[in-house]
Amino acid sequence: MRFIFLSLIILVVFSLSCTLSGKPTIIDSYIKDTGSLEVYFCPQEDCEGKLVNFLDSAQQSIHCALFEIGLPSVQSKLLEKAEQMDVKVATDDQYLKEFNHSFVKPDSWGLMHNKFCIIDGKKVSSGSMNPTINDAHKNNNNLLLIESSVLSGNYEREFQEMWEGTFKKGEKVLHPKIILNEIPIENYFCPDDHCTNQVVEAINHAKQSIYFMTFSFTSREIANALLLAKERGVELKGVMEASQISQYSMYELLKFQGTDVLKDKNKKNMHHKVFIIDNETVVTGSFNPTEGGDKRNDENVLIIKDESLAKKFLDEFSIVYG
């Protein structure tokens, strides 16, 4: 009884110290939430239409962190909504020229490489798709639309940091683990939450198979984790974007170690950043497995454990693998 009483005192003191310090307490256990999760694959599905309809559904606010904004339909919808409600956009400085308005702020160095929007503080879009003609209609991409107030809160806090000028750093994600309608989801931001470590941790739990689709893959840490998984009997197959294979790419290393890895066949780009683990866990988001993505860019990662979602990504892998 005395031990329990002392533990309660320590917990209260810790909570008070976090509150008085002005910093939010990171909740590392799963937070339950209700909502919905949809995924679409470009170019075979109408990613442009789905994203425009998503933005059009906003009633109060739209806050976006978008690397590049080239789709005229998305530009028009954001401008239309800016006349009606609170619209704020963070973009990469090299692409400000494509969409330069009073409600748009650029970063100043590295890459603001995110591709997310928060709608009314309760819905969020993410994935690998930039709102550009190529990404929507020519490149292989994924677009996730998720209704979750908890997950949206994570993205909103990250957005507000960037809107206030804090790029490539900031507080760790407040609710990294969420259960959405019985689906476990982990959510991280780079470089704040060390995305490479989170991907390696997911890979380390693989027991049967890992299939991956990567645009740029230069991370030796993630490559080593894949090869260690292969050594313990995990089936390993991958597709990598042909134009990104260079002396820095992990393609030759993986190939040399006997990995079934192919160069993609899309005449444009295979732009996914995806790992599918044991036919039930999907790693996706804006994060390429690179050192730049981990340490020098603003990025986001979702790790979602759901067999039905994984099946859709496996079907996409079969298309890309060819």
92 as an active site residue: the answer is no
**16 found inside a domain:** no
The number of folded domains in the chain is 2
Helix and strand numbers (H, E) in the chain are: 10, 17
Q: Which of 169, 204, 223 is the last residue of a domain?
A: 169
Q: Are 160 and 128 in contact (CB under 8 A)?
A: no
Q: Could you tell me if residue 8 is inside a domain?
A: no
Please tell me which residue in 278, 295, 311, 312 is annotated as part of the active site.
278
Residue 186 lies in a domain: no
Q: With a cut of 60, say whether residue 16 has pLDDT above it.
A: no
**Mean pLDDT within 19-33:** 72
Q: Please, what is the angle between helix 47-56 and helix 72-82, to 10°? A: 0
Question: Rounded distance, CA 270 to CA 82, Å?
Answer: 33
Say whether pLDDT at 226 is over 60: yes
- Assign 32 a pLDDT band (cuts: 50, 70, 90): very high
Last residue within a domain, chosen from 120, 151, 169 = 169
Q: How far apart are CA 218 and CA 39, in angstroms?
A: 27
Taking a C-beta distance cutoff of 8 angstroms, is the pair 225, 201 a contact? no
Same domain for 121 and 160, yes or no, is yes
Strands 61-66 and 86-91: parallel
Residue of 277, 271, 274, 269 whose CA lies nearest to 301: 274
Q: What is the CATH number of the domain that holds 317?
A: 3.30.870.10
**Is pLDDT of 6 > 70?**
no
Mean pLDDT of 176-185: 98
> Are 131 and 204 in a shared domain?
no
Mean pLDDT of 266-280: 98
pLDDT of residue 23: 59
Q: Is residue 161 one of the residues assigned to a domain?
A: yes
Tens-digit pLDDT profile for residues 230-242: 999 999 999 999 9
Asked whether residue 208 falls in the same domain as residue 294, the answer is yes
Contact 168, 191 (CB under 8 A): yes
Question: Is residue 278 flagged as an active site residue?
Answer: yes
CA dist 164 and 142 (Å) reads 29
User: In this model, does residue 209 exceed pLDDT 50?
Assistant: yes
What is 1-24 written as a DSSP string?
-HHHHHHHHHHHHHHHHHHHHTPP
Q: Are residues 228 and 274 in the same domain?
A: yes
pLDDT of residue 4 exceeding 50, the answer is no
Q: How confident is the model at residue 24 (pLDDT cuts 50, 70, 90)?
A: low
Same domain, 161 and 42: yes
Cα-trace Rg, the chain: 20
Residue in this structure with the two tokens 């999760």, named with its chain if needed: 37
Q: Residue 43 — very low, low, confident or very high, per pLDDT cuts 50/70/90?
A: very high
Same domain, 134 and 216: no
305 and 200 share a domain? yes
Q: What is the pLDDT of residue 158?
A: 98
Answer yes or no: do 122 and 214 share one domain. no
For residue range 80-90, list pLDDT tens digits in order.
999 999 999 99
Does 60 fall in a domain? yes
Say whether both 215 and 137 belong to one domain.
Answer: no
Looking at the fold, whether 213 and 155 belong to one and the same domain comes out as no
CB neighbour list of residue 105: distance below 8 Å, 6 or more residues apart? 88, 89, 90, 91, 162, 163
In a domain, 254, yes or no: yes
Provide mean pLDDT across the span 99-128. 97
Predicted TM-score (pTM) of the model is 0.92
Of 122, 175, 230, 273, which is the active-site residue? Answer: 273
Domain-embedded: residue 76: yes
Residue 260 in any domain: the answer is yes
Amino acid type, 165: G
In which domain, by residue range, is 293 found? 195-321
Q: What is the mean pLDDT of residues 117-133?
A: 98
| pLDDT for residue 38 | 98
CA distance 260 to 278: 16
Active site residue 273: yes
Check 271, 294, 298, 306 and give the catalytic one. Answer: 271
Same domain for 157 and 209:
no
pLDDT for residue 5 is more than 70: no
Confidence of residue 22 (pLDDT cuts 50, 70, 90): low
Residue 188, token pair as written in the block: 């991280």
Tell whether 40 and 159 lie within a shared domain: yes
